[in-house]
Amino acid sequence: MNPEGAPPSRAAARQEGRATINDIAAVTGVAASTVSRALSRPDRVNRVTRERIQAAARELNYVPNTQARALSSGRTDTVALLVSDATNPFYFGLIRGAQQQLHAAGQALLLMDTEDSAELENHLLGKMRRSVDGVILAASRLPEQTLAVIAAELPVVTINRNVPGVHSVVIDSPDGVMQAVEHLVSLGHRHVAYVTGPPSSWANEARWRALRTGMARHGLSADRIGPFGVSRHCGSAAADALLNTGATACVTFNDLLAIGILRRLAERGVDVPGEISVVGCDDIFGADFCSPPLTTLTAPIEQAGRVAVSMLLENLENPAVRASCRRIILPTHLTVRQSSGQAPRL
Amino acid sequence: MNPEGAPPSRAAARQEGRATINDIAAVTGVAASTVSRALSRPDRVNRVTRERIQAAARELNYVPNTQARALSSGRTDTVALLVSDATNPFYFGLIRGAQQQLHAAGQALLLMDTEDSAELENHLLGKMRRSVDGVILAASRLPEQTLAVIAAELPVVTINRNVPGVHSVVIDSPDGVMQAVEHLVSLGHRHVAYVTGPPSSWANEARWRALRTGMARHGLSADRIGPFGVSRHCGSAAADALLNTGATACVTFNDLLAIGILRRLAERGVDVPGEISVVGCDDIFGADFCSPPLTTLTAPIEQAGRVAVSMLLENLENPAVRASCRRIILPTHLTVRQSSGQAPRL
DNA sequence: AACCGGGCGGCAATCGCTTGCCAGTTTTTG
DNA sequence: CAAAAACTGGCAAGCGATTGCCGCCCGGTT
**Whole-angstrom Cα distance, residue A152 to residue A102?**
22
Please answer whether residues B139 and B163 qualify as being in contact, where contact means their C-beta atoms are separated by less than 8 angstroms: no
Q: Give the β-pairing of B156-159 and B167-171.
A: parallel
Residues of chain A with Cβ-Cβ distance to B96 below 8 Å are 86-87, 113
Query: How many residues are listed for chain A in this entry?
Result: 346
Rounded Cα distance between B179 and B168, Å, is 23
Q: Are the C-beta atoms of B138 and B81 separated by less than 8 Å?
A: yes
Contact B285 A286 (CB under 8 A): yes
**Global confidence as pTM:** 0.88
- Residues A66-90: tens digit of each pLDDT: 999 999 998 899 999 999 988 788 9
CB contact under 8 A, A63 and B93: no
Domain boundaries, chain A: 10-64, 76-346
Burial-class residue A254 by CB neighbours within 10 Å (0-12, 13-18, 19+): buried
> What's the pLDDT tens digit per position in B50-89?
999 999 999 999 999 999 999 999 889 999 999 998 878 8
* Dist. CA B164–CA A311, nearest whole Å: 44
Q: Do A10-64 and A76-346 share a fold?
A: no
DSSP-derived 3-state class of residue B156: strand
CA distance B300 to B302: 6
Report d(CA A325, CA A221) in Å as an integer: 36
B145-151 contact pairs (CB < 8 A, 24+): B146/B118, B146/B122, B150/B125
Q: What angle do CA B270, B274, B279 make, to 5 degrees?
A: 85
Q: Which helix (H) or strand (E) holds B280?
A: strand B277-282
Between B97 and B1, the higher pLDDT residue: B97
Rounded Cα distance, A344 and B25, in Å: 74
Of B92, B131, B291, the CB nearest to A86: B92
Give me the percent of chain B exceeding a pLDDT of 90.
Answer: 78
Q: Is the peptide bond before A227 cis (omega within 30 degrees of 0)?
A: yes
Residue A271 makes CB contacts below 8 A (sequence gap 6+) with none
- Interatomic CA distance for residues A252 and A286, integer angstroms: 16
- Candidate from B67, B262, B285 with C-beta closest to A70: B67
How far apart CA B308 and CA B140 sit, in angstroms, is: 14
What CA–CA distance (Å, rounded) separates B133 from B75? Answer: 6
Contact B286 A290 (CB under 8 A): yes
pLDDT tens-digit profile of B206-256? Answer: 999 999 999 999 999 999 998 999 888 999 999 999 999 999 999 999 999
Q: How far apart are CA B335 and CA A99, in angstroms?
A: 33
With contacts defined as CB-CB under 8 Å, which chain B residues touch A18?
130
Q: How confident is the model at residue A226 (pLDDT cuts 50, 70, 90)?
A: confident
A28-42, A285-299, B305-319: which has the minimum mean pLDDT? B305-319
* Burial (Cβ within 10 Å: 0-12, 13-18, ≥19) of residue A81: buried
Chain B residues lying within 8 Å of A289, measured CB to CB:
232, 259, 262-263, 286, 290-291
- The backbone region for B188, taken as left when phi is positive above 0, alpha when psi lies in -120 to 50, beta otherwise, is left
- Tell me the pLDDT band of B273, cut-offs 50, 70 and 90: very high
* Greatest C-alpha distance within chain A: 96
B104 in reach of chain A (CB within 8 A): no
CATH fold label, A76-346: Rossmann fold (3.40.50)
The answer to whether A256 touches A284, Cβ cutoff 8 Å, is: yes
Backbone angles phi, psi at A10, to 5 degrees: -55, -40
Question: Residue B16 — very low, low, confident or very high, per pLDDT cuts 50/70/90?
Answer: low
- CATH 3.30.360 correct for A10-64: no
**Alpha-carbon gap, residue B194 to A296, rounded angstroms:** 35
List, as one string, the DSSP characters of B55-73: HHHHHTT----HHHHHHHH
What sign has the CA pseudo-torsion A23, A29, A35, A39? negative
Compute the distance between CA of residue B269 and CA of residue A271 in angstroms, rounded to an integer: 22
- pLDDT attached to residue A85: 86
Q: How far is CA B281 from the centre of its chain?
A: 16
Is residue B91 pLDDT above 70, yes or no?
Answer: yes
A239-256 tens-digit pLDDT: 999 999 999 999 999 999
